[in-house]
Structure 1
Amino acid sequence: MPRHSKRRHAPRLLAVVAYAIAAACLLPMVAVALAAVTGGTETVGHLMQTVLPRYAGTTLLLVVLVAAGTFVIGVGAAWLVTMTRFPGSRLLEIALVLPLAFPAYVLAYAYTFVLDHPGIVQSTLRDVTGWGPRDYWFPEIRSPGGAAVMLILVLYPYVYLLARAAFLQQSASAFLAARALGSSAWSAFWRVSLPTARPAIAGGVLLAVMETIADFGTVAYFGVQTFATGIYTSWFSMADRAAAAQLALCLLGFALFLAVLERVQRGKAKYHHTGRRHVGLPPSELKGMRAALAFLLCAIPVLLGFVLPLVILVAMGLDSEQNLLSRRYMDFIGNSITLAGVAAVVTLVAAICVGFFQRLSPGRGPAWAAYIARLGYAVPGGVIAVGLIVPFAAFDNAFDAWMRATFDISTGLLITGSIWLLVGAYMVRFLAAALSAYEGGQATVHANMDAAARSLGQGPLGTLRRIHLPLLTPSLLTALLIVFVDVMKELPATLIMRPFNFDTLAVQAYRLAADERLEGAAVPSLVILAVGLLPVILICRQVGKRP
């Protein structure tokens, strides 16, 4: 009985740290809610009469367009490369993941450079036809539709990966039974395969939607007014903290609603096979025009989402005056690596504390701590920034006032505007990714290993250090890499919270693009892309290991 008690309860220090991490993840959401409630009804009324309907309408339009686009491309491509065979299908099966390496705002810079009015496409069109600027119509890239296309091209891999996994797990029995009853291949897909994979597909679409509402760089550059841009504008341009908090609360509510939906869908993603053995559906061979059409449909997303923008960015970078080896760019790279490295380590340590605490003490308290720690992935960076700055700025100001009154010393802003508060924001935002990677590896460590370690005199922390961490090295490195890359790409929280004169590659790319210096913006964008390719390569290797 004593042994069982020791096994079931974590050390008190670990429990305190795990609950403190969960509280830190909850703090921005609580702070945003309190700041919004105390902001006054005048601000709410003004928002309702002016910008709120526009922000809500545009955000909802983007959500609908991105959900539909990622569903069509992700599910269609997953079905074609999984259930059919055509020349190049195995290569495309891997290549369809590559657009995930692109931040949407980088894709926006590349396409604006070639599709905007002064770009090469419209310039060539005017030169060939002799038309003037008002003599023809051309789709406007800087529009909600343009922003939706950019987001669809980089977010469809979420749906593709989950749909592909679901299709691979499906048994051939139900599909073949539908065909035997007279259904066409398309009808069997629509009535059998698609409903079976629905939970996984819905989870992928919801992930894409959450990334859409969190996006700031793309919509800000295109001048599309959403909740994300409204928070930034209210905070900086109008200096209206109450309006920023109330807009953040609206976005937070929508994000948490989507998070609950995603979790429910993930819980339903179960597959049951009636036979004793799972028999996968044999892929059908496509030939002639069908094979060419399938290749084209799968190649277009890769071409538009990775190959073409990469070529454009390289051409832009070669023509720019930006020197990647200059002292200024070395500072940008150093700042980015410093932030990403520190944030990755802090986030991984937090994930280990929360995950190991839940393993040692399974129960409602640890489960709730882990659930709260995962909520940050659904909260946009701008919301987290507002939620952290508001309470810590109040603390800094109160402490400074007390020090002035008591000791006649001004302490200034001790926490607000520091690197550590920004690292805390990254930890809240990306802890879910690190926790998922850690728990995925932890699931492979059998409970008997813990019992063996205890019988040899090891306590919980000794078991973690000598048994778990060595076995989980691949999972820990994966978690580090994912968080490192996410921090390198993160823009809204960095823009709002970064210390004075402490710019990163993402901030530099955004600043140059905002000044319409797109060729210059290509240089830091290419560095961000190169770093972003690292986890995508790992995913591609897993995709290549087709069962």
Structure 2
Amino acid sequence: MILGLSRSWSVAGFCASALLVMPLLALLLEALTPDDAVFGHLMATVLPSYIRNSVLLIFWVSIGALLLALPCAWLMARCEFALRRYLQWALLLPLAMPGYIVAYVYTDLLDYAGPVQRALRAVFGWDSPQDYVFPDIRTLGGAACMLALVLFPYIYLLARTAFVEQSLHLAQASRIMGCSPWQSFWRLSLPMARPALAVGVALVAMETAADFATVSYFAVPTLTTAVYDTWLGYGNLTAAAKLSAIILLVVFLLIGIERFERRKQQLFQKPTAHQPQDLYRLSPMQTLLALGFCGAVLCFAFVLPFGILLSYAVKYFAQSWDARFWQLSVNSLSLALLTSAICLGLALLFMFVRRISPRASDALPSRLASLGYALPGTVLAIGVLIPLTWLDFGLNHLADWLGFKGPGLFFTGSVVALIFAFCVRFVAIAIGSVESSYKRISPSLDRVSVTLGQRPRQLLTRVHLPLLAKGLFAGALLVFIESMKELPAALLLRPIGFENLATFAFQYVSDEKLEYGALAAIVIVLVGLVPLIYLNRSLEQQR
């Protein structure tokens, strides 16, 4: 820590964090305003069903993701069989698939006019829907299945890590005592991995609570769709803010559960790397079953949707590859690059002040700024609209008072609102990456630099930045990818006539014409694969 830190660095950190936390505070203030007719009408009519659907969706997605992730995580961590090395990273790929894309693909496959039901009618001679019973995918259960397919890797990754890091001596003791692999899993590994599983389930639940596109496509009314409809349908910001506050309550409850469970994690034995001879060797029949289950999960969650998407993109390439596609790509790229640069600069400011300041209060800005990541996209959009609307009105009133022509909707009517929202949501990712990199830099380097007469700015540019380069790149990459994929905030905050790849693809999904937006969706998926490859390489280097 450096006692000679200029107060201006701390002030800059607090001002930046205040700006980033402003949407959350504005949202809460707006939600506390007196009740209005729209929200009262919603409470009396549809709000209970919205809440019930949201709770049921979170429950079933969590259960489904857990059932998919647990067997895969155990097999990858504690068993030895053919193709295991490739499957253990391939099972992360579904995270790159947007849920609404998977929902469209399976709706197209399983609807009455889809190839599956057509084939069944041809084989069994059925003539009408009254001749057979086939589950309807456009239901809450169907939405839960789609979300579970794309979200289970959150639990899989954490569970696999927990199983790998469990002490080898305990596993050997269970073998000596005659436990079968199933008994060892049920009595030993699963109870020890419970905190990690709770964290994974909480993450899945938060992503489910934040989902808008999938439930909107399936016409399942939840709190997120209610926020969207209340703002665009009724134009009522206060009612939308009140609904957003309910979602926030659910999200922060889930975060509290996750933090509570993480506090229980204590490591009493140093984990040892599992060598092939330490793993359970599966018999040929068991290997076949393991490959069948893991392969089926990977196929249904990624390979099949991606293959169909790729076929659409190839078939309709001529109609998609045009000047508009290039403009969409430029819009997405520009937004993502600007957001990455701003988030990286803010994260560097927060963590530099936190590292070299002797004041405990200077750790507060980074923590406040990280709150935005917990905001679902629709909630974030409403939170951003409120203060930016105030600013727009204030600027126009000031211009009128001074006798000038007002700037109009300078903030809410331009990409400024989008960039601000993306920064509020994703700066936490950059902060986490920079913080992790700072932990690898010895504090003795700071003391040596001060002894040699380096000022804080020189310490940052000459010492820290070269050592932080890898972490900065990783943080920028992750923010870039998330900005490319973000949909709900983009739908609510985009200026009139502005589209990016995410909103373009979703528009075609909503119109049942994904084939024309398949190329844009392919780009989003391929870009989303980059951090997964990076994550896998990092995990392999730690083994």
Q: Normalised by the shorter chain, which TM-score bucket?
A: over 0.9
Give how far 1:298 is off: 1.5
Asked whether the equivalents of residues 324 and 330 of structure 1 are also in contact (C-alpha less than 8 Å), the reply is no
- Residue number in structure 2 paired with 1:29: 24
- Residue number in structure 1 paired with 2:130: 134
CA shift digits 1:115-161 (9 cap, x unpaired): 22222222222333332233222222222112111211111111111
- For 1:454, the aligned partner's letter is V
Distance 1:520 1:484 in 2: 25
Distance 1:95 1:181 in 2: 34
Q: Could you tell which deviates more after superposition, 335-344 or 537-546? A: 537-546
Distance 2:264 2:21 in 1: 26
What TM-score results when the alignment is normalised by the length of structure 1? 0.94
Gaps of 5+ in 2: none
Give how far 1:341 is off: 0.6
- For 1:237, the aligned partner's letter is G
Give how far 1:249 is off: 0.6
Distance 2:273 2:531 in 1: 31
Give how far 1:208 is off: 1.3
Give 2:109's match in structure 1, choosing from 89, 106, 114: 114
Asked whether the equivalents of residues 164 and 273 of structure 2 are also in contact (C-alpha less than 8 Å), the reply is no
Asked whether the equivalents of residues 181 and 280 of structure 2 are also in contact (C-alpha less than 8 Å), the reply is no
Paired residues for 1:290-329 under 5 Å: 290-320=286-316, 323-329=319-325
Q: Could you tell which deviates more after superposition, 449-458 or 526-535? A: 449-458
Change (3 A) 1:93 1:279: closer
Q: Could you tell which deviates more after superposition, 164-173 or 263-272? A: 263-272
- Residue number in structure 2 paired with 1:206: 202
Asked whether the equivalents of residues 170 and 280 of structure 1 are also in contact (C-alpha less than 8 Å), the reply is no
Quote the RMSD (CA, aligned, Å). 2.0
- Residue number in structure 2 paired with 1:224: 220
Q: Does 1:494 align with 2:490?
A: yes
- Residue number in structure 1 paired with 2:452: 456
Asked whether the equivalents of residues 28 and 383 of structure 1 are also in contact (C-alpha less than 8 Å), the reply is no
Paired residues for 1:364-403 under 5 Å: 364-403=360-399
Gaps of 5+ in 1: none
Asked whether the equivalents of residues 111 and 136 of structure 2 are also in contact (C-alpha less than 8 Å), the reply is yes
- Residue number in structure 1 paired with 2:61: 66
Asked whether the equivalents of residues 170 and 271 of structure 1 are also in contact (C-alpha less than 8 Å), the reply is no
What TM-score results when the alignment is normalised by the length of structure 2? 0.95
- Residue number in structure 1 paired with 2:463: 467
Q: Could you tell which deviates more after superposition, 443-452 or 43-52? A: 43-52
Paired residues for 1:96-495 under 5 Å: 96-131=91-126, 132-273=128-269, 278=272, 280=274, 282-320=278-316, 323-361=319-357, 363-407=359-403, 409-495=405-491
Change (3 A) 1:391 1:59: same
Distance 1:152 1:363 in 2: 44
Q: Does 1:77 align with 2:72?
A: yes
Change (3 A) 1:159 1:129: same
Give how far 1:544 is off: 3.8
Give 1:95's match in structure 2, choosing from 82, 87, 90: 90
Identical amino acids, percent of aligned pairs: 39
Distance 1:22 1:211 in 2: 24
Change (3 A) 1:499 1:96: same
Q: Could you tell which deviates more after superposition, 329-338 or 116-125? A: 116-125
Change (3 A) 1:364 1:331: same
Give how far 1:492 is off: 0.6
Asked whether the equivalents of residues 319 and 516 of structure 2 are also in contact (C-alpha less than 8 Å), the reply is no
Secondary structure of 2:123's match?
Answer: helix
- Residue number in structure 1 paired with 2:14: 19
Q: Could you tell which deviates more after superposition, 364-373 or 163-172? A: 364-373
Secondary structure of 1:134's match?
Answer: helix
Asked whether the equivalents of residues 425 and 493 of structure 1 are also in contact (C-alpha less than 8 Å), the reply is yes
Secondary structure of 2:129's match?
Answer: coil
Secondary structure of 1:315's match?
Answer: helix
Distance 2:507 2:34 in 1: 31
CA shift digits 1:19-46 (9 cap, x unpaired): 1232123212111111111151544432
Give how far 1:57 is off: 0.8
Q: Does 1:56 align with 2:46?
A: no
- For 2:98, the aligned partner's letter is P
Asked whether the equivalents of residues 33 and 245 of structure 1 are also in contact (C-alpha less than 8 Å), the reply is yes
Secondary structure of 2:133's match?
Answer: coil
Aligned residues: 540
Q: Could you tell which deviates more after superposition, 535-544 or 211-220? A: 535-544
Q: Could you tell which deviates more after superposition, 193-202 or 482-491? A: 193-202
Secondary structure of 1:55's match?
Answer: helix
Distance 1:31 1:271 in 2: 41
Give how far 1:540 is off: 2.3
